Structure 1
Amino acid sequence: MPASPLYPATAPRHSFALEVGHGHVLQVDDCGAADGICAVVLHGGPGSGGSPLLRRFFDPERFRVVAIDQRGAGRSRPRGATAHNRTADLLDDLQRVREHLGIARWLVVGGSWGATLALAHALHTPQAVAGLLLRAVFVPRADTIAAFFQDPAGRAPDAWARFAALAPAHERHDMLGFLARSLQADAADGGARQRQLALAWWHWERALGGATGAADSPDGSALDALVDRYRVQSHYLRHACWLDRPPLLDRLAALPRVPTLLLHARDDRICPPQAAQDVQARIAHSRLHWVATGGHDPAAPAMAAAMVAALDGYARTARFDGAIP
């Protein structure tokens, strides 16, 4: 394992745009070894877009990593679009990308919402999945979603008060609904109000995640991208990601019996650890490994080391049986 512990950043071997219908064009990066173990890495959000960081968990000499910006996210176009953008569309897109690249099966690696999408993909197309590595899994339940936006446990009361102050008093009981409506509305003021809301959401997410120290607030094009990200995210969360009928947890017993590992930080306040326990309990062949610290940050040293160790072990044995720090 490299000392970093991440592998060095490498440029994709091939990047391309793939039209998937209704005006959506996906951005896809094909990275690593052309003859390596095929893996697809699924970013979080929904709507966050990919990051080179997510590829650095993989040994580029042993893995062929396919990184996809999901509909409306990252470099896919049109960014921030919510029409024809539901979980079922993303599942169809995964099949299109895999067939376009001529990949029969791949290891599916996802974090947060990406872990949720990985589970849905394995249920939708089980024959395509060789294994599942799920970091900080998110379960789209009404109580979990409400807890993120309403802070009933008082985890960061001052920060939540500042966040909620942007909504009219009569809408503060439903911050998600308020944000979704506001971010979807026509930007009559040139988008200034939407940028204000996105920035407030960003500050609230940082506070809930336990971020410490000063950080430069996004502005300019970065803030515009944040508006688009949260537009997609609120669209998905408002509909429980279309995974509640029947609930995703109730379907997990039907997952293919492939190597399945969950990694979750005990101090994650974005995706509560209980979610990982609930998922693992419903997948008899799965393994859950707790990471002591790091919250929801994929780059936290303990989580990064666990991800690299898990993937190095899979590269050696096609299983997740090895030791993980």
Structure 2
Amino acid sequence: MAPIYAAFDVNTSGHLQVSPVHSIYYEECGKPNGVPIVYLHGGPGGGIEDSDRRYFDPSHYRSVLFDQRGSGKSTPHASLEDNTTWDLVSDIEALREHLKIEKWIVFGGSWGSTLALAYSQKHPERCLGLILRGIFSLRREELDWFYQKGADMLFPDFFDAYKAVIPEAERGDMMRAYYTRLTGDDEAEQHKCAGAWSTWETATSKLIVDPEYIKKAEDPKWALAFARIESHFFVNGGWMRDGQLIDDAHKIKHLPIIIIQGRYDVVCPAKTSWDLYKALGGKGNSNVEYQIIGDVGHSAHEVKVEEALVDAADKFKFIKN
């Protein structure tokens, strides 16, 4: 298993106006004429980090990373206007065309896997293959497990803190209660709820609770975009029919796909990745590789997950652009 690559610089970066409202920040790294690979960050609302480019061999890949609408360096910050799954799918296509890329490998984890599935199912002809981690298909059962009832059985102490900011009368629909406050006019309430929502997610992301990782939720700018955009997407079901991404997996079963899943992923439990694997044909489809890593959780920043993602990208070096 190979570690992530040593840090390297961005080649070019800029903003692309994708709507009258939104401008997305993007960057290109690695080999300018290398095999294109696009990185789709999590959340939604998480934004990219400098370490995200380090999964991809800079001597082989032309890696493209961008902040989705409302996230990171994209503007306007934390905006929910014209911000849906299908707007983001459209942005990926706009960025591909802007960079004059014919086809690319699509790489995404957590919400990034959701967006990778939505994009590839709509534009399979633009995909060379997919590398997916911690699969999230935005089914209601997945959302209820993490934000309502299920994961609280494993992390009751952190769930109590997440629950405490919502009045007891509204706790029957925690996502809706948070969304109401995160989109309300009370700025102090917005930031309080953003911090609580983001702390719940960062606390549960690794197999071993990492206090340093939880501190990420203390950044009010990051937390607000993360919580506002996530709750916006989740209460609206991603603007998809429930189960759509699993039901439509047949549209991409001809593509080479690697699925990497932590056995003890509490945020996106392994059942979803297993359902996707079966929908893609399971063992009967030689195009699909399914890996369960036995001693990790959800985060891409656990060492064994990082190594598995680097190995997956290295396996895709057979693909020519």
Q: What band does the TM-score fall into relative to the shorter chain?
A: over 0.9
Give the total of aligned pairs.
312
Do residues 269 (structure 1) and 266 (structure 2) align? yes
Residue of 302, 305, 308 corresponding to 1:306: 308
CA distance in 2, matches of 1:134, 1:225: 24
CA distance in 2, matches of 1:293, 1:240: 31
CA distance in 2, matches of 1:219, 1:250: 34
1:175 is aligned to: 174
List structure 1 runs of 4+ shifted beyond 6 angstroms. Answer: none
- Alignment RMSD: 1.8
CA drift at 1:134: 0.4
1:199–1:218 CA contact under 8 A, matched in 2: no
CA drift at 1:309: 1.0
1:155–1:208 CA contact under 8 A, matched in 2: no
CA distance in 2, matches of 1:213, 1:239: 31
CA distance in 2, matches of 1:287, 1:300: 20
CA drift at 1:245: 5.5
Find the residue that maps to 1:67 and give its secondary structure.
strand
2:204 is aligned to: 208
1:39–1:64 CA contact under 8 A, matched in 2: yes
Find the residue that maps to 2:113 and give its secondary structure.
helix
CA drift at 1:219: 7.6
CA distance in 2, matches of 1:93, 1:288: 29
CA drift at 1:297: 1.3
Note the 1:27-176 alignment, pairs <5 A.
27-152=25-150, 154-176=153-175
From the superposition, tell whether residues 160 and 23 of structure 1 become closer, same or farther in structure 2 (CA, over 3 Å): same
2:106–2:131 CA contact under 8 A, matched in 1: yes
1:292–1:302 CA contact under 8 A, matched in 2: no
Deviations 1:16-59 (A, max 9, x none): 10001131001010111001111001001011011122211100
2:191 is aligned to: 195
Do residues 296 (structure 1) and 294 (structure 2) align? no
1:238 is aligned to: 235
Find the residue that maps to 1:76 and give its secondary structure.
coil
The normalised TM-score by structure 1 is 0.91
CA drift at 1:69: 0.7
CA drift at 1:208: 2.7
Deviations 1:186-205 (A, max 9, x none): 13xxx222221122122222
CA drift at 1:246: 6.4
1:31–1:60 CA contact under 8 A, matched in 2: yes
The normalised TM-score by structure 2 is 0.92
1:123–1:256 CA contact under 8 A, matched in 2: no
CA distance in 1, matches of 2:49, 2:202: 18
Amino-acid identity (%) = 32
1:22–1:84 CA contact under 8 A, matched in 2: no
Deviations 1:67-105 (A, max 9, x none): 011111111000100110101101111111001111000
CA distance in 2, matches of 1:259, 1:183: 39
After superposing the two structures, state which structure 1 stretch, 248-257 or 268-277, moved more. 248-257
Letter in 1 for 2:197: W
Letter in 1 for 2:109: G
